[in-house]
Amino acid sequence: MKIKTSPSLLAADFLHLADEVKKAENAGADMLHCDVMDGVYVPNISFGFDIISKINRITDLPLDVHMMTCCPEKYLDVLKSSGADIITVHSDYTDKDTVIDTLKRIREIGIKPAVSLKPGRPAEDAFDFVPYVDMILVMTVEPGFGGQKFMADMLPKIKTLREYLDIHNPECEIQVDGGISKDTIGVCAEAGANVFVVGTASFRADDMGKALSDMVEIAKAEYYK
């Protein structure tokens, strides 16, 4: 599995968003993480589809959209037309059957479906969704805000999921999101994550290119050992 970085735009300078997107491109990002928050599913509000669509017009980087909202199924068509390449919904936003229907619909419209587990949800919560997803996102902070402290107690969950995926859906990737930096990326890669959302430690670094390449090197050394 390839090691990939997904800089989170939540940590970007919103007054210079176009420059920030170019900065991520030049820094060698593999995709761009777009956190959509509605103030209901999480206690914060971020940005919406119009911004995502404008970002899509100025970059060829895949857009990795993390939906922290109620009823994400309402927004799939507008996300498609806004240029989303991956849509992640949370495992607990509603009942299991509705989440599965949403994941199936995401695939039908030509977007990669992913499901996310909040810190309080066990690995087993994701098992029923495994046939329908290309990626599982393990939150390593409570969703809602950037710049929080990495939760090391999520590492066994990543390991359990990687072992389960190796049997049931080996192509499925594991993404981690929250507090990822040079200090924490190695243990996540060692546990089996290969896609890394990086907010503060990328956009707020003095040299984003160096920050990302250093992190990728650390992750590769642990993931492939």
Sign of CA dihedral 78, 118, 190, 35: positive
Beta carbon nearer to Zn ion, 197 or 211 = 197
Segment lying near ligand DX5 (by CB under 6 A), choices 7-15, 125-133, 157-165, 205-213: 7-15
Decide if residue 72 touches ligand DX5 (CB under 6 A).
Answer: no
Task: Give how many residues touch Zn ion by CB under 5 A.
Answer: 3
Which residue in 120, 125, 196 sits closest to 161, CA to CA? 125
Residue type, 58: I
Decide if residue 121 touches ligand DX5 (CB under 6 A).
Answer: no
In the complex, minimum distance from the CB of residue 33 to Zn ion, in angstroms, rounded to a whole number = 6
Q: Which does 194 bind (CB under 5 to 8 A by kind): ligand DX5, Zn ion, none?
A: none
In the complex, minimum distance from the CB of residue 35 to Zn ion, in angstroms, rounded to a whole number = 4
- Let me know: does 92 contact 125? Beta carbons within 8 Å: yes
Beta carbon nearer to Zn ion, 64 or 73 = 64
- Let me know: does 166 contact 158? Beta carbons within 8 Å: no
- For residue 101, the tally of other CB atoms under 10 A from its CB is 14
Question: Can you tell me which of 4, 23, 66, 162 binds Zn ion, judged by CB under 5 A?
Answer: 66
Q: Which residues contact 220 (CB under 8 A, 6 or more apart)?
A: 3, 189
Question: Can you tell me which of 144, 155, 185, 211 binds ligand DX5, judged by CB under 6 A?
Answer: 144
Which residue in 98, 68, 86 sits closest to 31, CA to CA? 86
Question: Can you tell me which of 11, 65, 99, 219 binds ligand DX5, judged by CB under 6 A?
Answer: 11
Q: Which residues contact 63 (CB under 8 A, 6 or more apart)?
A: 31, 32, 34, 52, 55, 56, 82, 83, 84, 85, 86
**What x-and-dash track marks residues 177-206 binding Zn ion by CB under 5 A?**
x-----------------------------
Decide if residue 83 touches ligand DX5 (CB under 6 A).
Answer: no
- Let me know: does 180 contact 10? Beta carbons within 8 Å: no
Footprint on this chain of Zn ion (rule: CB under 5 A): 35, 66, 177
Residues contributing to the site for ligand DX5 (CB under 6 A) = 8, 10-11, 33, 35, 66, 141, 143-148, 177-180, 197-200
